[in-house]
Structure 1
Amino acid sequence: MLNRRNLLQGMAAGVGAAFGTPLIPNQLMASPVSNTTRKRVIFFMQNQGFDPKTCIPTGMSSSGSLAKAKLPEPINALEPYKDRLHIINGLHGMHTSPSHSAFFGALGGYRGSDGVPPSGPTIDYQLSRALPETLLPHLCIGMDSIENMTTKPTLATLSASGAGQPIFMHSNPNHLYQMLYGGIASGEIRRQHEARSSVMSQIERLAAAKDHALSKSDKLRYDQYVQGFQEVNGLRDRLASVSDHLRKFAPTVDTRYTNPEFETDWHDVLLDLGISALTSGITNTLTIGSGRGEIFGAWKGLGIEQQGHNLGHMDQPDNPIWIKIRQYNSRMLVRIMEALESVPEGSGTMMDHTLVVYTSNNADKQHTNGANWPVMLLGDLDGAFKTGCFTQLDGKRPINALYTSLLRAAGQNLDRFNMTETLAKKYDDATGPLKEVMA
């Protein structure tokens, strides 16, 4: 049933996704089955920290091959993919002041805090601009409790296109499906898509004509919202122009969308939508926020009754609750890799030209100083990164150095990401990418 409240929520979700995320109007995506190779990067951010003991094989304290190692129980779903896995320990994020969460600072490599706007672009956005153009350069999805995802279908705490310019995460899969595939749907989804499209077009026309009485500062802010509506409407038109292509990739809508039993039903279908956006070529950069970059999150579908802040006060190693959460994450990572592996691209598959970055928005644990920030990489981004190994660093290089490495692999020739020389003198003892992880 389409009502005014649902319509306005959907409009807010659409504008939120576009605001701060410029879309490319002049180029349609190439088919993934062509001979063109397109690099892509996926960020999976689990909240409440990433304890290194949950990912480093027992007995490994120095860098080496994973070939004969047995992965810990929390990530044992990745055992068949060890040759594509790189576990990194010893990066730091002390300058981000994480505590409960580094918020935008986790992907920005700068100081972040609750309620503090981003001070610059985050690495996922920067990569979306450096990688080959797509219809929607950057897609963010956020997983949380069903209550939070319902009442707050969009939230911005992880990604940003610049200082004071947050990028919103989609948390309601119904809204996201309508945005991506409403034009090729039928029935109620199609009716909602058409009604929302009509209203959005009217709002864009009215908004563009009503700013003459505003002050200069208000007009600037108003123009940003007008641009947001223009981008949403432009995205809808561009998706419609490749509708035949999109039909091959659109997920099937089932009761998990409309009548989820647990929040994990929505987590699963949000992941399906993110994967479809990658395999269809709609986007080249996907950010997944499990816990949405805050201290929340719920996994009742895994048999876990505890949720939110309390989870962060539990030790993660050998904890059956955190083993379940991390195993669930690992199965999601496997689903991403298997989906990309199934799509031919160039002389190989999409996974050959992809990198998955798995870490936390909060270093190693809740109430952390950020002295250790474990990361797992899956894939090699067309041969740019080493795989099948564990790398132990000395704690003297920040997460910014990893982000510099990612941008180098995407063709950007820079020595630092979001770190001034003054800040680097205190927090980074080298310049450029991490030579230990680059191939």
Structure 2
Amino acid sequence: MNFPLSLSRRTALRGLGISLGLPWFESIVPRAAAASIAPTPPQRMAFIFVPNGVHLPDWTPETEGYGFDLPFILDPLAPVKDDLMVITGLTHDKGRANGDGPGDHARSASVFLTGAQPRKTNGADIRSGMSVDQVAAQAAGKLTRFASLELGCEPGRSAGNCDSGYSCAYSSSISWSGSASPLGKETNPRFVFERLFGNGKAKEMDKNKIRRDALKKSILDFISEDAQKLQAKLGRADQHKLDEYLTGVREVERRIEITESEPQHSADIDYPIPEGIPGDYGQHLRLMSDMMVLAFQTDSTRISTCMFADAGSNRSYKAIDVPDGHHALSHHRGDAEKHAKIRKINQFHVAQLSYFLQKLKATPDGHGNLLDNSMIVYGSGLSDGDRHNNENLPVLLAGHGGGSVDTGRHLKVPTETPMCNLYMSLLDRFGASVDFIGDSTGRLSGLQI
């Protein structure tokens, strides 16, 4: 009788500063598990933020429940429609002024995952609340190489006044490890790639990268010996899975190399692009999605956040024939031409989300795929960019949560239901239950029928 390999989930392929984590193999069973019992893949969570609200008439499905038609903005999600839920009616009350005056954009980002009223200050005395991703990271972070992964596509600033007296830290961060501790995000795909697959201390990793670059080889060249030894021990199905995985890693590495060789300039943004960051915004977003997929696939982390753009972003979108700034357009005052441009921007963002979800769905995980074992929240902290309102937020929940989320539906919840009630329910499914988060009033019913 052939028993599965007794390898640890921490097993990695190594060579010259490289530590390449492995995907989930049927042949790999934790030592403590019985040979006849297949291990259960872990749950993952990701939270994706988009700025300036959306054009709700082209976002909201006309019918509730199953069988709804995807409106214009959500149309790119057709390949994964059965794997997601559109939720309408959720509110972030603490994103409202509540006596603090202007600053809706800064509040919309800081409240997105915290549900806490930010202190209005542009000094060092910032204060919000712990975000849901970091609550989960406290519970599961010790099980993985990285407790969480914070990504973004605009660098932002951590100090200064960015919105009517609110610190830039509020506008450029959605992840907070504590009430006064916003977490910085990485915007360079190369740095994320090196972090995921580097091995050793920072100085060591830098030296080894210089040596690898001088040799002009792929990271896979340095772990080939380990890979060949592992291939010989795996079953046929897992050998194929390893081949696919290594091919996928090389493809991402190749795309990063291409962006690094291209002129780093884009008319879509008004700040200098550091080396390694693609000039094409769509390519940048897709590479960051690839980083999250690789991180989940190798169990490097189970929790990630990604800001498609900072709160109040005025990025232009010439690639989709929208040369206007996003923030400026969001103040549409009912202008039909501006509405048409806004919905194109909204659809572009959703198309990048669809890319991420399809990559998750195409990545095997246990007896299913990564999307089966994930819960992905996508949305904005504002509903309409012109009204700056915080009720009836545009929210999508994708992934099946290991079978605990009934997808393929449009779920309407009572008006003023706290967004944090959704987070409470997700934390329960993640195995990180808490008594409250932000302004939660309980759990969100209806996620599973």
Q: Give the alignment's TM-score, normalised by structure 1.
A: 0.69
1:252-401 correspondence to structure 2 within 5 Å: 252=254, 253-259=256-262, 260-314=278-332, 319-401=339-421
1:289-326 deviations in Å (ceiling 9; x for gaps): 01124434343333321225313213698833223322
Aligned partner of 1:163: which letter? S
> Residue in 2 aligned with 1:174?
190
- The structure with the greater share of residues assigned to helix is 1
> Residue in 1 aligned with 2:130?
121
CA distance, structure 2, for counterparts of residue 176 and residue 55 of structure 1: 32
CA distance, structure 2, for counterparts of residue 31 and residue 302 of structure 1: 36
> Residue in 2 aligned with 1:144?
154
Aligned partner of 1:284: which letter? R
What displacement does 1:438 show?
3.7
Gap change, CA 1:346 and 1:373, over 3 Å in 2: same
CA distance, structure 1, for counterparts of residue 322 and residue 347 of structure 2: 13
> Residue in 1 aligned with 2:444?
434
Displaced runs of 4+ in structure 1, greater than 4 A? 26-30, 113-116, 189-192, 243-249, 315-318
1:118-267 correspondence to structure 2 within 5 Å: 118-131=127-140, 133-144=143-154, 156-181=172-197, 193=209, 249-250=248-249, 251=252, 252=254, 253-259=256-262, 260-267=278-285
CA distance, structure 1, for counterparts of residue 336 and residue 297 of structure 2: 35
CA distance, structure 2, for counterparts of residue 249 and residue 344 of structure 1: 13
Contact 1:117–1:166 (CA<8 Å) still a contact in 2? no
> Residue in 2 aligned with 1:407?
427
Residue 104 (str. 1) matches residue 110 (str. 2): yes
CA distance, structure 1, for counterparts of residue 433 and residue 411 of structure 2: 24
Residue 38 (str. 1) matches residue 52 (str. 2): no
CA distance, structure 2, for counterparts of residue 173 and residue 317 of structure 1: 37
Unaligned runs of 5+ in 1: 1-25, 149-153, 196-239, 420-427
RMSD: 3.5
> Residue in 2 aligned with 1:92?
91
Gap change, CA 1:266 and 1:84, over 3 Å in 2: closer
CA distance, structure 1, for counterparts of residue 395 and residue 45 of structure 2: 14
Percent identical among aligned pairs is 22
Contact 2:105–2:311 (CA<8 Å) still a contact in 1? no
CA distance, structure 2, for counterparts of residue 178 and residue 317 of structure 1: 45
Q: How many residues align?
A: 345
Gap change, CA 1:300 and 1:130, over 3 Å in 2: farther
Q: Give the alignment's TM-score, normalised by structure 2.
A: 0.67
CA distance, structure 1, for counterparts of residue 210 and residue 293 of structure 2: 25
1:268-287 deviations in Å (ceiling 9; x for gaps): 32222232222232221121
Contact 2:50–2:309 (CA<8 Å) still a contact in 1? yes
Contact 1:93–1:398 (CA<8 Å) still a contact in 2? yes
CA distance, structure 2, for counterparts of residue 87 and residue 103 of structure 1: 20
CA distance, structure 1, for counterparts of residue 291 and residue 299 of structure 2: 12
CA distance, structure 2, for counterparts of residue 411 and residue 158 of structure 1: 22
Unaligned runs of 5+ in 2: 1-8, 12-20, 27-38, 98-103, 158-168, 212-222, 228-241, 263-277
